[in-house]
Chain A
Amino acid sequence: MRGWRWLAPAIVVLLAVTAWPVGRAIWTSLSTDPATSPGDRSFVGVDNYVDVLTTRTWWIAVAATLAIITVMVVLQLLLGLAFAAALRRMTVLWPVARVVVLLPFALLAVVSAVVWRDAVTTGFAAAWFRLDDLGPVGQLVAVSLGEVWRGTGITAVILLAGLLRVSTSLMASAVADGATAWQRFRRVVLPAMAPAIAVAVVYRALDALRMLEGPLLVDQPGTDVRTVPVLVWDTTFSRFELGLGAAMSVLLLVFAVLLAAALVPLLRVRRTV
C-alpha cells in the first residue's frame, strides 16, 4: 500500500471537490427547494425525478443533445482524420501546422459562439449562402459547428499521434503485396491507430455533451429545442428551482456515465495505468 502515500492527497482533494457536491446534489434533488423562498423546503422523495422524466421538454432535450453529440463527433472524427492524414504527409510544414492546428482551441468557447452566430445571422456566411432569418434551431446548428471547429484541431493532434504509430515497414510490405487502399486502411492503419480513435471519440463525445456556452447564447424564451445542459442551467440558475435543478444535474451525470459506458467497451479503450 506504499503507493497510496503518493496518491492519497490528490484523491482526497478530488473526492472533496467532486463526490461531496454530487452527494449534495442527490440530497437536494429529493426535496423541493425554491431558492426564492428558502422556508418552503420539504422532502418529496423521487417526485422531482418523476417530474423531469415525464415532461416532453426533457425528452426532446435528450434527443436533441444526442443528435448534436453524434453529428459533432462524426464531423470532428472525419475532419480530424483527413487533416491528420494530410499533416502526416506534409512533414515540411509541421513547424507551422503544429501551431495553427491548436489555434481554434485557444479561442474561448463564448467568443467562438458569438462570432459563429453573427456569421450566420448578419455576417459573411449569411451573405455568401443567402441565409435569411435562420431561427433558433439554425443558430444552434451554427454554434455547434463553431464548437466542431474548435475541437477538430485537438482531434487531429490525437489522431496524428495514432497515425505516426502505423509501422512504415508493414505498410511497405502491404503495398508490395498488392493490397488495395481500403485493405491497407482496414488491415494496417486502423489496428495501429485504434487506441487513438477510441480516445478521440470518447473525449469529444463527452465534451460535446457538456457544451453550454453556444446553446445558452442562442437560447430564446419559448424555443422548443434546447439541450440538456441548457435545461439544467435554466432551471438552477435562472428559475432557481434548486430541487428540480439538482434532479436534472443528477440525470445529466447519469447521461454522461451511460454515454461513457456505451462508448468505452464499444471502442475497447485501453487501460493505461
Chain B
Amino acid sequence: MTPSVKSRLWASGLSFALGFGVGNYGILMIARPDQWLWIIASVVLMATGAAGVLYADTPRPVSFWGILGFEVFAVVTLVPLLWTFTVATAPEGADPQTLWPQGVSWRAFDGAIGSDILRDAAVTSFLVSGLATLIAMPLAVAAAYGFVRVPARGKRIAYGLVIGTILMPVLAIAGPISEQLVAFGAYGSRLALVPAALVVTLPLATWLSVTVLRDVPWPLLDAIRADGATRRQVVRHFAAPALLPGLTVVTLLVFVVGCSDFVLGSALSPDARTLPLPATLMLASGQVDDSSAAIAAAGLLWMLPAVVLLLLFPRRINHLLGRSYR
C-alpha cells in the first residue's frame, strides 16, 4: 500500500522543521565536539525531508513517517549507550562533559576485568542464577505442559499465581526472606540465595515456556503416536525439533534475567563477599568516589552475554517477548 502524497509531504515537512530546529540549537548552544553530532542529526533529518518532497508523488513503496520514526528511534536508543561508553572510557579524575568520548582510556575496563571483588560478584551471580535456572526449568516445562495441554480444575488460578509473581514487587518479600534465612542460620551463604532467586526465575520460566509450548504443533504428536512411534522416535522427530530451540532460548533468557536481579541479591547478603554483581555495583556507587567509570565499564561488560544472545537468536527472542500475551 503506497502512502498518500499528502501524508508524505507532512512527514517531510515535520522532518525538515525538526532538522532545522536541531541544527540551529546545535550551532548556537552546543560546544564542540558534540556540535558535530547535532549537525549530523540536523543534516540527516533535513535530507529526509528533502527526499520526502522529491519522492512524494511516486509509486515507490517507502514511508517517510517510518524513516523519520526510525531516525528518532535510533537516536533515542543509541545516545544513552554512547554516553555509557563515554563515562566508561573517561580519563582518570575527569568528569566527561561531552557526549562524544574525548581521550578514550581503557583503564576502567582493565580495572573491571582485573578486580577480585567484581570477579567474585560475577561468580556469585552466575552460580546463583545458574542453579536457580536449572531448578526452575524442569518444573516450569512440566507446568507449562499442564497449562497448555492437560485440562485441570483451577488452572486459571494457578496461572494467575504465576503471572502475579512475575509482576509482584519482589522487594516486599525480601525482608521476610532475609529474616527466615537468619532464623535458619543460612544468612550470608551464597547458596542461600538460590531459593530466593526462584522467586524471579520460576514464574518467568513458566510463563515463557507456556508461550513456547503454545506454538508447538501438538496434532503432530498425536499423529506420530497413532502411527506407533517409539519413545525414542517421538524424542528424535517431535520433541527435539519442536521444543528444543524454544526452550534453549527460554533457559538462556531466564538465566540472564536472574543474573540482573538487584533487590534479592543485596537484601540477602550481609557483606561484600556474597553480593551478586548488580548489588556490588550499587554498593560501589555509594562508597567509592569517582565510581561512575568503573560501574559503566562493568555494566557494558555485563551486557555482553545478553548481546551475544540477542545476536544469535534475534527473531526468536523478539517473538517470545512480543507474542507472550497471546
Name A's B-contacting residues (CB within 8 A). Answer: 1-7, 9-11, 13-15, 17-18, 20-22, 24-25, 28, 79, 82-83, 85-90, 93, 95, 97-104, 106-112, 114-116, 118-119, 122-124, 126-128, 130, 146, 149, 152-154, 156-158, 160-161, 168, 171-172, 175, 181, 195-196, 198-199, 202-203, 206-207, 209-210, 212-213, 216-217, 229, 232-233, 236-237, 242, 245-246, 249-250, 252-253, 256, 260, 270-273
- What number of A-B contacts does a CB cutoff of 8 Å give? 327
29 A-B contact pairs sorted by A residue (CB < 8 Å): A3-B151, A7-B146, A7-B147, A17-B199, A21-B176, A24-B180, A28-B179, A83-B73, A97-B70, A98-B314, A100-B78, A106-B256, A108-B260, A112-B84, A114-B296, A115-B83, A154-B321, A158-B321, A160-B322, A181-B7, A210-B168, A232-B171, A232-B172, A249-B172, A249-B176, A256-B168, A272-B159, A273-B156, A273-B159
From B76, B302, B314, contact of A108 by CB (8 A): B302
Q: Does A256 contact B169, Cβ atoms closer than 8 Å?
A: yes
Closest to B314 in A: A98
Contact A17 B196 (CB under 8 A): yes
- Assess whether A102 is in contact with B317, with CB atoms less than 8 Å apart: yes
A86 & B322 in contact (Cβ 8 Å cutoff): no
By a CB distance below 8 angstroms, the chain B residues around A207 are 167
Kindly state whether residue B292 has any CB partner on chain A within 8 Å: yes
Q: In whole angstroms, how far apart are the Cα atoms of A18 and B95 in the complex?
A: 43
Complex CA distance for A228 and B313, rounded to whole angstroms: 37
Measured CB to CB, the closest approach of chain A to B258, in angstroms, equals 13
**Whole-angstrom distance between the Cβ of B310 and the nearest chain A Cβ:** 5
Smallest CB separation, B206 vs chain A (Å)? 6
* Residue pair A7, B152 in contact (C-beta under 8 Å): yes
Residue from the list B63, B175, B317 in contact with A249, Cβ < 8 A = B175
Q: A79-B76, A196-B325 are in contact. Are A90 and B172 (CB under 8 A)?
A: no
B99 CB contacts on chain A under 8 angstroms: 124, 128
Closest 8 CB pairs of A and B: A3-B152, A86-B69, A111-B299, A6-B146, A89-B66, A161-B322, A10-B143, A106-B306
Q: Is B120 an interface residue (CB 8 A)?
A: no
B52-60, B224-232, B233-241, B277-285: which lies at the interface: B277-285
Partner of B140, one of A10, A104, A202: A10
Q: Is the CB of A3 within 8 A of B84?
A: no
Does B206 contact A10, Cβ atoms closer than 8 Å? yes
| SS of B interface (majority) | helix
In the assembled complex, the Cα of A253 lies from the Cα of B319 at a distance in Å of 31
**B65 close to A85 (CB less than 8 A):** yes
| A128 in contact with B34 (CB, 8 Å) | yes
Smallest CB-CB separation from A250: which chain B residue? Answer: B172
Q: Is B96 an interface residue (CB 8 A)?
A: yes
Residues B162-211 near A (CB distance < 8 A):
162, 164-165, 167-177, 179-180, 195-196, 198-199, 202-203, 206, 210
Contact of A108 with B69 at beta-carbon distance under 8 Å, contacts A100-B77, A103-B310, A127-B98 already known: no
Q: Is B29 part of the contact surface with A, judged by Cβ < 8 Å?
A: yes
Contact of A249 with B98 in the complex, beta carbons under 8 Å: no
Partner of B296, one of A17, A79, A115, A146: A115
A252 to chain B: closest residue by CB: B172
Known: A118-B87, A237-B267, A252-B171. A124 touches B162 (CB 8 A): no
Q: Are B34 and A98 in contact (CB under 8 A)?
A: no
CB contact under 8 A between A271 and B179, given known A6-B150, A115-B80, A115-B296: no
B139 within 8 A of partner (CB) = yes
Known contacts being A108-B302, A128-B29, A195-B325, is A13 close to B176, with CB within 8 Å? no
CA distance in complex: A152, B300 (Å): 19
CB–CB B314/A4 < 8 A: no
